[in-house]
Structure 1
Amino acid sequence: MTLAGDLRHRGAGGPKVSRRRFEADLVAGKYPPGRPPPGGVLTDTDAEVARLALEMVEAGLRAGSLAISRETVPACRACGHLTGTGDHPCRACGSTGTRARTGLHLVAEPAYGRPALDRPDIHADRHRQPDHLRRTVGDADRRLLLSRTRDHGIDLGPLGLDGLVLDPRAGLHATVLAAARRYRADTAVMTVTENAARHIAAHGRPFREHEGTRLRYALHGRLPYGPSAGLKPLYEAYRATPGAKDGFHEWFLPLFSLRVKSATRPEQLPALFKYYMRARLARPATVDAAVLESVRRSVRAGRTGWITDRRTLATVMAARATGRCRGAEAG
């Protein structure tokens, strides 16, 4: 499997940097300068992620849910990169010739009669479970290839699979669990769109639980990127400070996307900004501890109704301003 990041790394001009550094720079570039994510940056190029992933693979091999077996797969005739099915040029070298290649691979064994994505895998209350998504993902009744040829990733050489890495859809789950291990958490929640969950759930099934730590998906909708001309008059009308504007785009909108799983359209932004500013202007002078604890319980249970309750949101904003809201932030 070749990801967009692999292609960007190959095509990057200027002095070559390591794939690990390139990946870290891509992630860091998503955040404002001088404001890195509080939890740091962790990718499948980090040693602690690789160690955990190999632990999980070895546990799966012992349990029989994973296996190393001889498989015949389509590969590029020119460079040997695994091409998958379909009529398309090799994503590594551009060649169009393929051949069948037989060798040892890591595979996930089928779990007949079990869904690839079940209710406990979704971080949401029972009234907002995406049953349509679970039906789309289907059952875990087919063998999945988990080893790939790729520029970088979690090396499977220690398992005797030289030249192969763990499929990044599985490696992503190991990365999240490594972050949970770093903070000694028993539950890790990964925010994903429904479309992303549909593509990674089956490959991530053997990597969603390890040594008492469980990974769950929190589904979110898509947000519009870039400036919105429709907001400029509202910025002026509300005399919005840079901090207020940043809070809307960087904190509130990601939070709102957890509440509304469909795409948020640009024409919806003015109404959302008005709601956000009214809550901001209604921030209480004293934070109600009971309201804050109720929000924490909602976050732990996957409930999101508090986001569209203006009084509750105002309380959370006040708590954020005083540094009391770390456990109540959900985005």
Structure 2
Amino acid sequence: MRTDEKLHRPAEYPTTRDLPRMSRTRLWLFGSTLAVYVAIVVGVVTSSKLVTLDWQVMLWRPYKQWPQIHAALDYFVVLGQRGPTAVMVAAWLGWRAWRQRSLHPMLALGASLLLLNITVGAVKYGLGRLGPHYATAVGSPELFAGGDIFPSGHTANAVVTWGVLAYLATTPRVRRWASVIAALLALGVGMTTIYLGTHWVSDVLLGWAAGLLVLLALPWFEPAMAWAEDFLVAAWHRLRHGSGLAPVPARALGQRPGLVTQRASQAGGQPALEAVGAATGGHTAAMPHAPGRPPAARHERTPVTPTGSRRPPAERPVRPIPLAHQQVRGRGAAGS
């Protein structure tokens, strides 16, 4: 089956251009998560007790308390790294998109990662917080020092990347199980970064909130995904069937197009223009005369000449008539 035919099959997840209405539960979750997000940022900026907790956990050094699990958690934290997780999830959703004949799964992943990079990246580089391993003063929030640690990108990425699988689940039961698994993975990745000493506690808390905000806001971008899918499918069809891009049949290569001739149609006696020749495979395409005008008589039609050079043909030399032929002609003229 061709790819353009697959893209025209009905999708399992119908998309819409109308802005979806959020349920009260989702709106309440979005508002409360946003409030927590702002509270964490304010708590770090004002050097509140949240910063004190950060330093207490950092000075306790969890990786020294349980060194036996250090090697295993070094591999586990990769489940929150943007590159490997994006490749794994994109491979699965790419197969889903092919099965469903829809680009919606891939567009949902792309939109969620784009939102995550914009929102998390802006706060990271705007606040410039240093990580625990690069801290300079005990009790300081380490802000505006050229760092990029707040919020935790590993944690936010784990929430979004694995949460998208739950967002795209087909049944409520699968969605519940996928949500539980995604929450456990995000929780484990965040706690692992604290254990390894690569993030403050407040970094992880803000990463969880940032990722959850992206997932809760994703339905608002469904109209943009539907528009993008329509645009990509139309662009694919223009690429495959557009002018000069469609494959040329092998039988038509090397053959000259036929001439345009005039022939009266057998139904009603009305004239029609037909294109005949090797390029059309012997089939003719009739073009009826313009409506409202009587068909032109045969002597009034414009003669159609073949395209090519308009140079007059070279003059042929005059061949002398043999004497026997002249005598025959003379006798015929005399007898008449």
Q: Name the TM tier (shorter chain).
A: under 0.3
Report the TM-score, using the length of structure 2 for normalisation.
0.20
- Structure with the larger strand share: 1
Report the TM-score, using the length of structure 1 for normalisation.
0.20
